[in-house]
Amino acid sequence: MPRTAFFISDGTGITAETLGRSLLSQFENTDFIQVTKPYIDTLDKARSLVGIIEATAERDGIRPIVIDTIVDQAIRDIVSQSSAFKVDIFSTFLAPLEVELETHSTYTVGRTHAIGRDDVYMHRIEAVNFALDNDDGARTHQYEEADVILIGVSRCGKTPTSLYLALQFGIRAANYPLTEDDLDENGILNLPPTLSRHRHKLFGLTIDARRLSAIRTERRPDSRYCSMDQCMQEIGQAEALYRRHNISYIDTTRFSIEEISTRMMNETGLQRRFSPR
């Protein structure tokens, strides 16, 4: 029987959801119905939420799990009256830190994901705009400004990885699709001049042919584009190019965007421009 897990916060709920999902992912043999409840920032909202939690417990026949990052003590007191199994992230970790640091926490709602310093926020926006402007080889003349240029066949994860790198770390990531247009007269995939000039910035992505075919089928079913033969051919040509030019690359088949990004940064030594919020 699946367990219902509530991620609760008096702010956006991002921290509760992120940490909560990480904790629950360690229990592979248990199915979870995950519910995020952000902005529980008044006593009335807290009382209403307790009613939802109790109704869920009655429906499921087992108490829900509540993982929260609520700062306001009065709201926490109301939520604590529910029959759920509760994991209070802030009180669990802040109290020991207060002892170690010999000072009290500010207990500020929304501080983790607030805009904070204007220069950091603006840099994040600029990096995201750069990733969007330089998606799929759209503006190759801006590659001088790129921190990294992701290359790979269509639908192997270049765009979401570029955006994640920009949003989380402020990295200016461009991406370029390797297509049949880059084949020479012998059918060999070569680096186009626009990439050759920035060889030191290139990082390749590859993917299992079956997975790629499934992804492409959702986009263009019953087409040559999604056929296994076409996918296998493109992937083989791309990986041969990586080896020929000694370009580092990652197989994205079983990795999340977060894992792809951090592995790429670790292999290249690329430094984040700011820490993720």
Strand partners, 176: 151
Which of 89-93, 206-210, 233-237 shows the lowest per-residue confidence on average (mean pLDDT)?
89-93
Return mean pLDDT, the chain. 90
Whether 155 has a binding-site annotation, put simply, is: yes
The residues spanned by each domain of the chain are 3-101, 118-268
Whether 30 has a binding-site annotation, put simply, is: no
Phi, psi dihedral angles at 21 (to 5 degrees): -65, -40
Nearest to residue 150, comparing CAs of 96, 204, 227?
A: 204
Which of 93-97, 145-149, 198-202, 254-258 shows the lowest per-residue confidence on average (mean pLDDT)?
93-97
Whether 154 has a binding-site annotation, put simply, is: yes
Q: What is the pLDDT of residues 18-61, one digit of tens each?
A: 899 999 999 999 999 999 999 999 999 999 999 999 999 999 99
- In the CATH hierarchy, which fold is given to the domain comprising 118-268? Rossmann fold (3.40.50)
Cα gap 248→234, rounded to integer Å:
17
> At residue 113, does pLDDT exceed 50?
no
Cα gap 265→262, rounded to integer Å:
5
Predicted local confidence at residue 11, as pLDDT: 87
Whether 187 has a binding-site annotation, put simply, is: no
Predicted local confidence at residue 187, as pLDDT: 83
Phi, psi dihedral angles at 115 (to 5 degrees): -65, -40
Whether 117 has a binding-site annotation, put simply, is: no
- Confidence label for 132 from pLDDT (cuts 50, 70 and 90): very high
Whether 158 has a binding-site annotation, put simply, is: yes
